Amino acid sequence: MTAPSESPWLVHGGTAASLDRTTGCPVGRERESDEVHGRLKDPDGPRMVLVRGERGAGRSAFLHAVGERLRAEGTPVLAVGCVPGDDARPLVLALRLVMVLEEHLSGTPQRRAAKPVTEALHAAERRDGTAMAALLRAALARSAPVVVELDDLHLADADSLAVLRGTDFARVPSPVRLLASAVGRGERSAPWRNGHEAAPDARSAVDGKGRTPPHRGAAGGVEQQGDVPWAHTIVLSRLGPDETTAVVARRLRATPDSGLSRRVRELTHGVPGAIDALLTGWTREGAIRVADGHAFIGVRTPTPVLPDGDRFVGALDALSEPCRVVAGALSVLWPLGGRAAELIPAATGLSAETVGDAIRVLIDAQIVDVRPGFDGAAAGGWTFAVALTAHAVRERLGPLERSRLSATAVEAVWADRDAAGIAYEAGPPVVALSDEADAVAYLADRVAEAGHLVDRDRAVRELTAAAQRLHPDSEGRGVLRWCRAVGNLVERPEERVPALQRYAKAAYQAGDYRTARTIAESILRNRADVLGTHALQDTANLCTAATANDSDWRALSRLATAEWWDELRLPGLVPVTGRALALCGLARWQEALDLLARTEEVWATDVRGRVKPDYFRAVAEMVLGRPERFRRALALSEAPNLGAEHVYALATTMFDELLSGRDLHAAEDLLAAQGLTADRLHPHSVFLRRHLQGRWDEALEPARWMLANNRIHTPAADGCLIPARTAEILLARGRTTSARRLLDSVRDRGEDRPEYSLDAVEAEIQRALGDPNGAEKTLRRGLDAADAHGHVAGVDELWAALAEVYAETGHTGEALTCLERLERISDRTGSGRTRLRFLLASARVLRQDSPGAARDGLREAVDLARSRSQPFETAVTLVAAAEAGAGPPTLLHEAYELFGRTGSALARFRTRAAMREAGITVPGRARATAENERLLATLIAEGLTNRRIAMVLRLSEDAVANRLSRLFARTGLRSRTAVVTAVLAGRPDRRLAPEPWSSSSAAPLV
């Protein structure tokens, strides 16, 4: 059996998301659904339940879901809808209601007559509300038990609503219940902070005259329904953060990562209709990628523009021209708070009174909300009820109109700063936003959009300061956009070229390697005369690194030649730096060292210029087995002579290199020494750190994001770290097929670059599946490629695994040879990880012939592993020591808990077996049984046959068959296909609930 082709496997690039529009009770409305259902079923309950909610709250979907629930229970449900234009047709809703009730009379069909319908038609023609009310009361009295849905009651005509309000249900004995919906603000949490609602008279703050426009027409009638004794009102409020995330998960059939969830919340404010509109736009463009059952979106993915005809856009289009003009201005100016109303008249040519009236209409139409002041009391301006609407309105403005409005905002903020004596680099702009970073981004965006309409020099300074202030731009607030704008603003070559260089760096940081590479190469070829030597060196480094990250190996090979650089007129330091980095990127380490040795007098002339070549040399020597220079480089003694940007880049690169060698303590010490915090790390660094810390659920989130967005490269010597260590996690959780598919998806076919970390994990997968011969071939392939490139660092994993494979297959002589190579590497590098792997492999090889030596080595291994503070590594060591008698059996207890902390289901299963064999009680029998079944379900979903499962679990095939039978019996699942479906859907039987260590109950099973 193979895994279904449509399953969201974790592979490089991910798959495009699609929307699931299946019906059911809307997410987050379960409590309201139960309340409505209970009141309608209660014989003494209200005759009418009115469901209110703002535009997009999901009133219709909620009504239909309740109706389907009632129908499923045998309760008749009839639907009477209202449509646009009904308000101009007097008594049309009352007529429809009489007609549908007359079709549902109690008694036999012979007793039914067409006369009441005919009379109702005549009453509607005469606009005779009194007659229609009498006919409605009669129909209600004669009707059989039924629930009537009255959807979109706010579109109904006023006369029909008057008839409904005047019908005294208390005196009309009737089995009819009405379930209605209508637009209405009701009680809802505001989108800004703490859920504070504006003061009742906050709309009057527009002009201070205390004028509050009354509700008009049908909408006003609907608002009064809540005062009718026989009507009960329920308000559908906005969804909270968790409910919003749950809606996204259901729609995408995948768990959204934190970045996607955050953007959805920010753009929709928890309005279900806006959530659907946003997800529809993104999925139509293929912007949402799914990897491993999780959904992701790039930080630079643009917000989709709501199409014409969308409910939120249509509400604005239905208003007068001044309202639309003011809404357009507010879409740009609203973050300025109460000052926006002061600026709009001059920007639009409208009078202040017209602007004030328009804002009140926009509020009444639920397009704009009053924004509380930061003291929680006074009005602090306005914001759009749905941020997605603001984006649509802003994007519909013409380019010149947007530029003029942006210039208005910029001039106002600059005037405030000048009046307060605040320099542009001294602090955040004076903008009425609670988050400083958003305030910086808002002003920078306005400056970029204003372009030449504001002072160019000041604009360039402002944008440059904003880019530096928010670097690195992990939230995607716009550093790349601002740097591009600077490039368009400056004209003098001596300013334009540095601006373009900054733009190229921002593009590289944002993952736009093609743009970074194109700009950098253009500068090197055409404008090298403008930049100094060190700036050109940075540009050459950038060009080479972007080419490597773009996986253009042919171009990188050309950058490694002297001929490519000889075509350019560059100082000698620059070509050496670029060539050396290209050679390192191609894993031609010895060639890089030879080049640097020949040209040392060229690149070692000053502290600033020698930093990069010296670091390349240190890394090359470390890879070749001589780590001394790299360890000295960790002190960053040149830092005082480097700028903060260069120190950050160098320190984070060293950090990755240390994590590549699994030296967590040294990496943490480096961060502390340079004053860097975890929030400033790149996603790949975050993943590598969490992986070693054993925080695997947290580690998988950035890993999935990087894989889905093709961002798997790291600046470390081993460019395969992200997929290799992600596959390690998958394998430890029993996801053998997923791990193998991931490795296959990232391999560089046809390139002779060593991929030893991928080879090591692939061999582990083959060993787990009972294929030692395949593991041997994979390990040998990896060692041959490493030898061809002179690799020493990292290949200890291959030698250790090969020694274990030979020991398991009875080839002791070959195993001892592997140990000799491994010991030489350990002695040569002094790596704690290599020493630990040597001790563990030695114990496996020497277990039969020299058990005493094996136990001594394992005792040392336990101490070493504990000192390294890496949970999974420590747990593996403890199990080896306990099984060999090198420590008390209670070590298995400790290992068991550590495996649980990382979520290593497969290792935990095997440890349970070892504990039972040692006569140790396994804690939590019920939990252990649930974990066993969950692991079995995972292996089935991975497409493994019973024979393969037996190999992985180290059981007999009969034992696997028995466990599978018990799984079916306990869960009610009837086939392997049903198990696969349950696992992939993430909504399995309760007996296969998420593991206790899972970080999210919404996470997929596997």
Q: What digits encode the pLDDT tens for the residues 871-925?
A: 999 999 999 999 999 999 999 999 999 999 999 999 999 999 999 999 999 988 8
Which pLDDT does position 290 carry in this prediction?
Answer: 87
Measuring CA to CA, how many Å separate 521 from each of 214, 507, 620, 625?
Answer: 64, 14, 25, 34
Q: Which of 143, 162, 32, 147 is nearest to 79 (CA)?
A: 147
- pLDDT computed for residue 992 by the predictor: 53
Local structure of residue 196 (DSSP, 8 states): P
Answer for the pair 840, 807: CB distance below 8 angstroms, yes or no. Answer: no
pLDDT band at 471 (very low <50, low <70, confident <90, very high): confident
Mean pLDDT of the chain: 87
Residue 4 has pLDDT above 50, yes or no: no
Residue 997 has what pLDDT? Answer: 40
Cβ proximity of 216 and 187 under 8 Å: no
| Phi and psi angles of residue 863, each rounded to the nearest 5 degrees, phi first | -60, -45
Q: Which structure tokens are listed for 929?
A: 């049984």
Tokens of 738: 């997923």
Using DSSP bridges, classify how beta strands 368-372 and 15-16 pair: parallel, antiparallel or unpaired. unpaired
Closest by Cα among 898, 867, 888, 892 to 878: 892
Query: What ranges make up the beta strands (E) of 64-164?
Result: 77-81, 146-151
Query: What are the structure tokens assigned to 901, written together?
Result: 């902390």
- Mean pLDDT for the stretch of residues 74-88: 92
Q: What are phi and psi of 626, to 5 degrees?
A: -125, 85
Which letter does DSSP use for residue 850 in this model?
A: -
106 near 142, Cβ under 8 Å?
A: yes
Which tokens in the block code for residue 8?
A: 């969201």
In sequence order, the 6+-apart residues with CB closer than 8 A to the CB of 183 are 52, 53, 54, 55, 59, 152, 154, 219, 222, 366
DSSP state of 371: E
Gap between the Cα atoms of 499 and 497, Å rounded: 5
Q: CB-side exposure of 260: number of CA atoms within 13 Å?
A: 31
Asked if residue 190 has pLDDT above 80, the reply is: no
Inform me whether the pLDDT recorded for 328 exceeds 80.
yes
In this structure, the strands spanning 15-16 and 289-291 are antiparallel
At residue 149, the 3 state secondary structure works out as strand
What pLDDT is stored for residue 229 in this prediction?
55
Contact criterion met (CB below 8 Å) for 253 and 217? no
pLDDT the model gives residue 106: 60
| pLDDT at residue 817 greater than cutoff 80 | yes
Residue 645 has pLDDT above 90, yes or no: no
pLDDT at 985: 63
Highest mean pLDDT pick, 219-223, 257-261, 575-579: 575-579
Does residue 189 surpass a pLDDT of 70?
Answer: no
Tell me how far the alpha carbon of residue 189 is from its chain's centroid.
24
Report the pLDDT averaged over residues 412-427. Answer: 79
Helices (H), 624-682: 628-633, 644-660, 664-673
- Max distance between CA atoms of the chain, in angstroms, equals 110
| d(C-alpha 406, C-alpha 396), whole Å | 15
What is the DSSP secondary-structure string of 775-825?
A: HHHHHHHHHHHHHHHT--TTTHHHHHHHHHHHHHTT-HHHHHHHHHHHHHH
Close Cβ partners of 609 (under 8 Å, ≥ 6 residues apart) = 533, 534, 537, 573, 603
- Interatomic CA distance for residues 370 and 379, integer angstroms: 7
pLDDT tens per residue across span 337-366? 888 999 999 999 999 999 999 999 999 999
Pairwise CA distance, residues 489 & 853, whole Å: 72
Cα distances from 129 to residues 82, 122, 439, 710, in angstroms, run 18, 11, 56, 67
**Tens digits of per-residue pLDDT, 593-642?**
999 999 999 999 899 999 999 999 999 999 999 999 999 999 999 888 88
- The pLDDT value recorded for residue 110 is 45
Q: For 295-323, give the DSSP string.
A: EE--TTPPPPPPPTT-HHHHHHHTS-HHH
Is residue 374's pLDDT more than 50? no
Residue 740, H or E segment = helix 736-746
Residue 425: per-residue pLDDT? 60
Q: What percent of the chain has pLDDT over 90?
A: 65
Coil, helix or strand for 428? coil
pLDDT at 819 over 50: yes
Q: State in Å, rounded, how far the first CA of the chain is from the last one.
A: 17
Helix (H, G, I), strand (E, B) or coil at 34: helix
Edge-to-edge strands of the sheet including 176-183?
77-81, 146-151, 176-183, 48-53, 231-235
Per residue in 82-113, pLDDT (tens digit) is 999 999 999 999 999 999 998 887 654 545 55
Cβ(537)–Cβ(547) under 8 Å?
no
Residue 704, burial from CB neighbour count under 10 angstroms (0-12, 13-18, 19+): buried
- Whether 534 has a pLDDT exceeding 60, the answer reads yes
Count of CB atoms situated within 10 Å of the CB of 949: 24
201-213 per-position pLDDT tens digit: 444 444 433 333 4
User: How many residues would you count in the chain?
Assistant: 1006
Q: Which two tokens stand for residue 920?
A: 């140790």
> Which pLDDT belongs to residue 378?
42
Question: What is the dihedral sign for C-alpha 690, 694, 695, 701?
Answer: positive
Q: What mean pLDDT comes out for the span 51-62?
A: 93
971 with 991: CB under 8 angstroms? yes
Please say if the pLDDT value at position 423 is more than 60. Answer: yes
CA–CA dist 397, 708 (Å, integer): 34
In angstroms, the Cα distances linking 431 to 193, 705, 734 are 16, 33, 52
Average pLDDT over residues 543-559: 93
Can you tell me whether residue 626 is helix, strand or coil?
coil
Q: Which residues pair with 150 in a beta bridge?
A: 80, 180
271-285, 418-432, 631-645, range with the lowest pLDDT: 418-432
Q: Is the peptide bond before 272 cis (omega within 30 degrees of 0)?
A: no
pLDDT at 1003 over 90: no
**How does pLDDT run across 658-697, given as a tens digit for each residue?**
999 999 999 999 999 999 888 889 899 999 999 999 999 9
Per-residue pLDDT at 74 exceeds 50: yes
- With left for phi above 0 and alpha for psi between -120 and 50, is residue 107 left, alpha or beta? left
Q: In the predicted model, is pLDDT for residue 318 greater than 80?
A: yes
Kindly report which listed range (16-30, 80-94, 200-214, 802-816) carries the lowest average pLDDT score.
200-214
Neighbours of 345 (CB within 10 A): 17
Measuring CA to CA, which residue among 179, 175, 164, 118 is closest to residue 141?
175
pTM: 0.83
Q: Which pLDDT belongs to residue 427?
A: 61
pLDDT of residue 211: 37
